[in-house]
């Protein structure tokens, strides 16, 4: 059963649905994928592949030879990531067999090279990153909730926050990922753990919706409201966290055609998720 405090959270979100949009902010700053030797950031399709497709907490990438030059070794069985590099060469514009008058202009040709790079975390013997941020402050009550979650999913470090149902894994940027605050870190963790309660081995919600669909939007609302309930239970329900939650729910309310009734559906599912994580699952 919802308490007066959790009802207040839901009411605040419902009230905000009709107001102006507040763009959702990612509460951590990721370092862009870059070459471990030159320090140059990858651009274009390379940035797309290495920043989004890979989920490593370390933003450094390098070739097999570059790793060896640093005294590191790519671990056996690791698969690399394809990158492309464009360069140019100049060739004389003179025709074969024609007399060279010295007036021919050189022509520039563009060509593409393919390379395979590996993430620093795929290598043994790599030097530590020099610019890691200080870890976020520990909130003991929140850590205890995470630690004591029944039948918890595996939590691994990654470049973005997400729950992967097929592997039952919560992927989270580490505490050294330049989080805006400790509360932002735990709020995001609670969001992903709420998603994890929907797994078939727990509360068995439908997690199969495609991005942008109504089904997907419903689950996102469940996860965000569940995170707020858990923040409340751990004593970190701060204005910063609430503002971000309202903005997040506003975003998905557009997908749901601004149907405020859906919030109450999500709140009920979020309450069940909260109770599960807190060890209060109904038997």
Of 168, 166, 174, nearest to 193 by C-alpha is: 168
Question: What is the side-by-side strand order in the sheet with 81-91?
Answer: 34-35, 60-62, 107-119, 81-91
**pLDDT of 34 higher than 80:** yes
Tokens of 242: 């609430």
Rounded distance, CA 14 to CA 12, Å? 6
Mean pLDDT of 161-173: 92
Residue 14 near residue 263, CB atoms below 8 Å: yes
Q: What is the mean pLDDT of residues 27-32?
A: 63
Residue 117 pLDDT:
93
Convert the pLDDT of each residue in 260-281 to its tens digit.
577 778 889 999 999 999 998 7
142 vs 224, more confident: 142
CB 182 within 8 A of CB 136: yes
Q: Cα–Cα distance between 119 and 62 in angstroms, integer? A: 7
Query: Chain-centre distance of CA 130, in angstroms?
Result: 22
The per-residue pLDDT for 250 is: 58
Q: Residue 20: what pLDDT?
A: 39
Closest by CA position to 50, among listed 68, 63, 33? 33
Task: Write down the mean pLDDT value for the chain.
Answer: 78
What is the rounded CA–CA span in Å between residue 188 and residue 152?
Answer: 16
**Other Cβ atoms within 10 Å of 25 Cβ, number:** 13
Q: Is the whole model's pTM more than 0.85, yes or no?
A: no
Residues 63-84 have a mean pLDDT of 92
| pLDDT tens-place string over residues 183-204 | 889 999 999 999 999 999 999 9
Per-residue exposure over 79-115, b if at least 16 CB sit within 10 Å of its own CB, e if not:
eebebeeeeeeeeeebeeeeeeeeeeeeeeeeeeeeb
Split at pLDDT 50, 70, 90, the class of 23 is very low
């Amino acid at each position: 059963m919802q308490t007066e405090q959790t009802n207040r959270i839901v009411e605040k979100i419902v009230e905000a649905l009709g107001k102006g949009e507040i763009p959702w902010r990612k509460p951590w700053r990721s370092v862009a994928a870059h070459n471990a030797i030159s320090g140059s950031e990858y651009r274009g399709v390379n940035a797309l592949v290495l920043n989004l497709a890979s989920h490593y907490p370390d933003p450094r990438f390098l070739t097999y030879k570059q790793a060896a030059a640093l005294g590191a070794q790519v671990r056996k069985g690791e698969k690399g990531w394809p990158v492309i590099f464009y360069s140019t060469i100049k060739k004389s514009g003179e025709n074969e067999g024609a007399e060279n008058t010295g007036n021919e202009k050189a022509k520039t040709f563009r060509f593409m090279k393919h390379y395979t790079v590996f993430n620093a975390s795929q290598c043994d013997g790599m030097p530590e990153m020099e610019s890691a941020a200080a870890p976020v402050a520990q909130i003991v009550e929140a850590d205890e909730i995470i630690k004591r979650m029944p039948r918890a999913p595996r939590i691994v470090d990654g470049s973005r926050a997400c729950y992967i149902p097929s592997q039952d894994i919560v992927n989270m940027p580490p505490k050294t990922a330049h989080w805006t605050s400790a509360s932002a870190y735990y709020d995001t963790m609670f969001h992903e753990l709420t998603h994890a309660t929907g797994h078939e081995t727990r509360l068995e919600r439908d997690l199969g919706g495609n991005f942008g669909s109504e089904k997907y939007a419903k689950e996102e609302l469940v996860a965000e409201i569940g995170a707020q309930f858990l923040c409340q239970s751990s004593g970190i329900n701060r204005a910063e966290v609430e503002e971000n939650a309202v903005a997040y729910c506003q975003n998905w309310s557009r997908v749901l055609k601004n149907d405020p009734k859906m919030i109450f559906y999500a709140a009920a599912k979020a309450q069940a998720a909260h109770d599960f994580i807190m060890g209060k699952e109904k038997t």
